[in-house]
Structure 1
Amino acid sequence: MTLQATLVALVVVGAVCGALIVATVLARLERHRRSRVLARLTAPHRMLLLDVASGEDDDGRSAAALADLTGRAWEGMRGAVTGLLSKVRGEPAEQLVEILAAHGDIDAARVGTRSRSAMARARSAHLLGSARTHDAVPDLLPLLTDRATEVRLVAARALGQIADPRTAAPLLRSVIPPQGRRAGPVGVPAWIVADGLLAMGPAVTTVVVAGLGDEDPLVRDVAASVSANSMMPALLPVLRARLAVETEPTVRAQIASALGRLGHPQDAALLTAHASASVDPGLRRACVGALGELGVPAAEPVLTALLADEDRRLSSIAADALIALGPVGHRALEAAVGQGEAAARAARGALELATLREA
C-alpha cells in the first residue's frame, strides 16, 4: 500500500470515528432532553401516584385522574406505575392495575405475549405477572416453552406471581430444557419454579406428589425442594417411600430435609438409619439436620456418636441438632467437651453459639 493510500484510509477511518462520536453525543443529548421534558410533564401527577400507592386515595380521585392522563403525560407516568406494582399489595395494587387497564396496557401486554420480539414477549409477561392478571394465564402458559430462555424465565415468574394452582403441572415441568437447539440448553431455574409452586400453597399437593415420582430428576428435585419448604402433611407417606428408592443424591437429601420439617417422631428411626449407614455425605448431613428439626430426645445417642465423625461438617450439624433437642442435648454436649478432640471441638462450638443466641 502506497503512502497516499494509507493517508486516505486514515482520513476515512478518522471521519467515520468522528461521525460516530457526534452521533453518540447527539443521541445522549436527545435522551437527556426527552427525560427533562417527561419529568416536567409528569411532575404535577406524581403526588397522585403517591396517594394511590400509600393507600390514601379513599375516594378514588387520584386513581381516576391518573386513568385520565393522555399523551406524553401518561407515557412518563407508565414506568412509575408499573414499577410500584411489585412493591404494594391490597387495594393500592388493585387501583394501579385498574389504571393500567384503563390505558389499555393490560390488553396490550396480552397481545404482546405473541410478539415476534423476545424482548416484547418478556416485557409483556413481566407486566401481566406484576399485575397478577389471572385472565392472562392462557397467554402466559405457551411462553414456558418459548424459544428464548429469558422469556421462559419471566413467564415462569409471572405464573408464580399469579399463583393459579391450575398452572402448577406445566410450571413444574418447565425446569426440563425444551427440545430443539433454538430453545436453548437449559430450562427455567429450579428456584423460580419452586417459589411459584410454594406461592400456590397446599392446592398443588397432588402435583408435587406426582413430581416426586417423575422420571426426570430435575422435576423430582424441585418437587422435593417444595416438599422441604412447605406445610403439606399429605406428602409424608410419599416422602417416606421415596427416601428408600430415590437414586439422585441431591433429591434424597431434600426428601430427608422434608421429613425433618413435616415428619413425626416415628420418622426418627428412618432418618437415623440413613445418617448412620449411608455413604453419601449429603444424605447423612440432611438426615442429621432433620433429626434436629424433629427434636426427638431418643435421637441423642446417635447424634452424640456422630460428634466424632471424620466429616467435620457432619459433626457440626450433629452438635447443632443436639442443641435443638433441649436439655438432653445440652447435657450430651457438655459431656462431650471432655472427650476426644473432634467431639470436643464440635461440642464447644455448638455450646458457644447457643450461648451467644441466648445473650
Structure 2
Amino acid sequence: MSIGGFVAVSGLAIATASLAMAVVIVALKVHRSLRARVWERRVEPYRRRVVLVAAGEDTEDGDTLAELAGLTRGTRSDVDELVLRLLGKVRGEPATELVELLRRHGALERSARELRSRSSLRRARALHLIGRCRDWTHADAAIEALEDRSPRVRAQAARTVGQIGDPRAARPLLEALRLEGVHAGDAAEALAGLGHGATDALLWALHEGSPRARTVAAHLAGTGGGPAAAPLPVHLPERKPPPTGPGPAPPAGAGGDRPAAPLAADLAGRNPDPAVAATAVTALGLVGRSSDIGAIAGATVRYHPPQLRRAAAEALGELGDPLGVAVLVRLLADRESQVSEAAARSLLALGPAGRAALALNAHLPTAGAALAQARLTGVAV
C-alpha cells in the first residue's frame, strides 16, 4: 500500500472512531436525561410531603413523616434519593426527621452492608449517605474506609468523617493523606470541623506526618481553620536535641513549651518539600509574634527555593512588625521577581517605616513600581 493510500485509510478509520465516540456520548447523555425524567415522574406524588417535612411544616403528631415511612418497598428508593438531596440543604430538627425517615426505610442498614461490597461505586455511595446523615453509629466503618483500596472510596471517606465529626478520625485522616485519592482540601475542611479534638493529631502531623499531612496541619494552624488550629504554631512540646559535647547546662525552666520560631526553622530545614516549609512560614505570619521574625527571616536565605522565600516575605507583611523592614529591604533585590514583588507589597503593608524604606530604595525596579502603584491608589508615600 502506498503512503497516500495508508493516509487515506488511517484518516477514514480516525473519522469513523470519532463519529462512534460522539454517538456513544450523545446516547449516554440522552439515557441519563431520560432516567432523570422518569425518576422525576415517579417521585412527583411524594415530593410535596417530603418538602413539608424538610421545611419543618409537618403536623405535631408527625403524620406526614409516618405516611412517608409507610411507603411500599418499591417506592422507598425513589423517596430516599429525594431525601438525600434535600439533606444537604436543611439543618436542625427537619434534618433529624429526614434522617429518621431514611432509618425507617432501612437505608442506613443497607449502606452499612454495602460498605463491604466488591463494587467501589457502591461503597462510595454508601459512605456518601452515611456522611449526609451524620450517622455516628457507622463512624468506625467510615474511618476504616480511609484505607480502602479504591481512591474514589478513600476520597469519599475523607468527606464522610468530616461530616460525622468524630475526633477519633483526625489522625487516621492525616495518615491517609499519604495515599492517592484523599484530597488535601477535603482533609483540611474535615479537620477544621473536628474542633479541639483534632489538636493532638495535628501536633503529630506537624512533627511526624507525611509532607502533605504537615502541609495541611500547618495551613490549619495559620488560618485558624478550627478552634484547635490557631494555637498550634505558638507553643509546641520541645524535642531536646542530643548533646553535642561539653558545655554549659541549659537554663532552669528550659524545655516544655517553646515559641513558634523553632517550628518554622525545623519545617524549613528538615523537610525537602518546600510546600511544607512555606505553609509553616505562612502560619507564623498569621498567628506569630515579634519573636518569630528570626525564624521567618531564616526562610529568606538565598539557597531556599523561591516559593519559600516569597512565603517568608508575605509572612513578614502579615506579621505587621517594623522589625521586619530590614529583611524585606534585602529581598527587594532578590533575583526572583515573585520574591521581590512580595517584599515590596509587605513593606507597603508595614506602614510609615516600610514606605520610607521603599522610598530609599526607589532605584530598584520593584520598589519603584510599588511606590508608583501606591501613589496611583492614593496611598501617601
Q: Same fold (TM over 0.5)?
A: yes
Which deviates the most, 153-162 or 213-222? 213-222
* Larger CA deviation: 335-344 vs 186-195: 335-344
- Using a 3 Å threshold, how does the CA distance of structure 1 residues 324 and 96 change in structure 2: closer, same or farther? farther
Counting only pairs closer than 5 Å after superposition, residues 201-350 of structure 1 correspond to structure 2 as: 201-214=195-208, 216-230=210-224, 231-238=229-236, 239-245=260-266, 246-248=270-272, 249-276=274-301, 278-333=303-358, 335=359, 338-349=362-373
Deviations 1:199-242 (A, max 9, x none): 21232111111111216333333322332333431432345323
What letter matches 2:196 in structure 1?
P
The answer for the alignment partner of 1:149 in structure 2 is 151
CA deviation map 1:230-275 (0-9, x unaligned) = 3431432345323223222221111101111221222123212332
> C-alpha displacement at 1:316, in angstroms?
1.9
Q: Does 1:110 align with 2:108?
A: no
Would you say the 8 A contact 1:129–1:157 is kept in 2?
Answer: yes
- Evaluate the alpha carbon distance shift between residue 272 and residue 347 of structure 1 in structure 2; reply closer, same or farther with a 3 A threshold: farther
**Structure 1 gap segments, 5+ residues each:** 1-20, 178-185
Structure 1 residues 349, 337: closer, same or farther in 2, change over 3 A?
Answer: farther
Distance 1:251 1:120 in 2: 35
- CA separation of 1:116 and 1:338: change in aligned 2, threshold 3 A: closer
Point out the structure with the larger helix share.
1
TM-fit CA distance, 1:346: 3.2
- The letter of the residue matching 1:242 is L
Find the aligned partners of 1:30 and 1:310 in 2 and give their Cα distance. Answer: 55
Which residue of the partner structure matches residue 6 of structure 2? none
C-alpha contact 1:268 1:299 (8 A) present in aligned 2? yes
| Alpha carbons 2:285, 2:319 under 8 Å: kept | yes
- Give the counterpart letter for 1:259 in structure 2: L
Q: CA deviation at 1:192?
A: 2.1
Give the equivalent residue in structure 1 for 2:248: none
Following TM superposition, by how much is the alpha carbon of 1:336 offset from its aligned partner in structure 2, in angstroms? 5.7
1:54–1:313 distance in 2 versus 1, CA, 3 Å? farther
Provide the residue aligned with 2:185 in structure 1: 191
- For 1:318 and 1:212, the matched residues in 2 are separated by 27
1:137 is displaced (CA, Å) by 0.9
Deviation at 1:293, TM superposition (A): 1.5
Structure 2 matches for 1:47-58, cutoff 5 A? 47-57=48-58
Structure 1 residue corresponding to 2:133, chosen from 110, 127, 131: 131
SS in 1 for 2:235: helix
Indicate conservation of the 8 Å contact 1:309/1:342, yes or no.
Answer: no
Judge conservation of contact 1:198–1:226 (CA < 8 Å) in 2: yes
- Answer yes or no: is the 8 Å Cα contact 1:53–1:88 preserved in 2: yes
- After superposition, the CA RMSD in angstroms is 2.9
Which ranges of structure 2 fall in alignment gaps of 5 or more residues?
A: 1-22, 237-259
**Alignment: residue pair count:** 321
Bigger CA drift: 49-58 or 105-114? 49-58
Query: Cα distance, 1:287 vs. partner?
Result: 1.2
- Range with greater deviation from structure 2 (45-54 or 136-145): 45-54
Offset, 1:127: 0.7
How far apart are the structure 2 equivalents of 1:65 and 1:318? 65
Distance 1:283 1:85 in 2: 42
Q: Report the CA distance shift for 1:302/1:111 in structure 2 as closer, same or farther (over 3 A).
A: same
Deviations 1:49-99 (A, max 9, x none): 323333444734443433333344433222221112222222232222111
Closer, same or farther: CA 142–29 of 1 in aligned 2, 3 Å: closer
Instruction: Quote how far apart the aligned CAs of 1:126 are.
Output: 0.9
> For the residues of structure 2 that align with 1:57 and 1:320, how far apart are their CA atoms?
57
C-alpha displacement of 1:162: 1.2
Paired residue for 2:81? 79
| Alpha-carbon distance change, 103 to 326 in structure 1, aligned in 2, over 3 angstroms | farther
- Which residue of structure 2 aligns with residue 162 of structure 1? 164
TM-score, normalising length: structure 1: 0.79
Q: C-alpha deviations, 1:166-202, integer Å up to 9, x for none?
A: 111111101123xxxxxxxx35222222222122123
- Give the Å deviation of 1:277: 5.2
**1:279 and 1:314 mapped to 2: Cα distance?**
11
Whole-Å separation in 1 of the counterparts to 2:50 and 2:109: 22
